[in-house]
Amino acid sequence: MAVSMKGKSLISIHDLSIEEVYQIFELAKILKLKRLSGEPHRLLEGKKLGMIFSKPSTRTRISFEVGMYELGGVGMFFDGKSIHLGKKESISDTAKVLSRYLDGIMIRTFDHQEVVDLARFGSIPIINGLTDLLHPCQVLTDLFTILEKKQVLKGLKLTYVGDGGNNMAHSLLNGCSKVGMDVTIVTPSGNEYQPNAEIVANAQANAKYQGSKVEITTDPVAGVKDADVIYTDVWASMGMEGEANEREKVFQPLQVNEALVKHAKADYLFMHCLPAYRGKEVVNEVIDSPNSVVFDEAENRLHVQKAIMALVM
């Protein structure tokens, strides 16, 4: 039975019910088929989405803007400087004002609290397009892509290899545990590379309920053993450019290469949220292999985010 998501903000996958997750997937599938067949699907005719970007983007901006256009609405771009979010005007005041003009806000920013506060003080749906803590739209897309390729999610094993403390690792912990997938995070030793303890605890609680497993390890070979999906991300996220050289030394043993992927299942999927630094976190022989679904994954950002916008707006 469908549940109403109208007016709901999407801050974290952890906040979604399993029914809401699959409702997003079902609508994304329908909207993808309509787009491929050229059938109009203007579910948000006349609606207005404010898109706030404190962090620049390729996939996020274009997929949301194209998505709103195809749904019959308009996406309005604002960079962090043009609206002075939390600087010349408080976030609470900005949220109240924008709620009078817009039907929804998508924000891509550094500080997760900005998204939380927009949702707290605004009266329209807020969609988290990325923060330093979480990247929920990407991981909902990843799960949708896995479902397309494998026809099932529950019982599969996904292994993430990289920085355990970044937004991708956190949202993969939230998302995989929510749908009953085993999730392993392979990350270097050291507290600065470990996942957020609260997110790990939430994932373990979800996994216990679903009968799945959550594992954190520093051993890449053991981590990817029998994996159905191998996932990686850049070693230095946006804002960490000054640490890139040092991080490259730390993360080099975790490179996803031909030797490592041999320990996964033969039909494993390789995933990356892009952009990828080829030759660093992943080699060309893996990202360009028949196992790689990175461009299907990138395309699906459009379909999944259209579903999210249609459901909440």
Residues labelled as active-site residues: 108, 135, 138, 233, 273, 301
Question: What is the rounded distance in angstroms from the CA atom of residue 145 to the CA atom of residue 152?
Answer: 10
Task: Output the six-digit token pair for 228.
Answer: 């159905």
What letter would DSSP give residue 291? T
**Chain centroid, CA 195 distance in Å:** 16
**Chain centroid, CA 278 distance in Å:** 21
DSSP output for 188-253: -SSGGGSPPHHHHHHHHHHHHHHT--EEEES-HHHHHTT-SEEEE--SS-TT-GGGHHHHHHHHGG
Residue type present at position 112: H
Q: How many CB atoms lie within 10 A of CB 6?
A: 9
Task: Output the six-digit token pair for 52.
Answer: 């706030």
Contact 68, 309 (CB under 8 A): yes
Question: What is the rounded distance in angstroms from the CA atom of residue 117 to the CA atom of residue 108?
Answer: 14
Task: Output the six-digit token pair for 10.
Answer: 């999407």
Helices then strands, counting H and E runs in the chain, come out as 13, 9
At residue 195, φ and ψ (nearest 5 deg) are -65, 155
Residues constituting the chain: 313
Question: What is the rounded distance in angstroms from the CA atom of residue 193 to the CA atom of residue 9?
Answer: 29
Task: Output the six-digit token pair for 186.
Answer: 């392979």
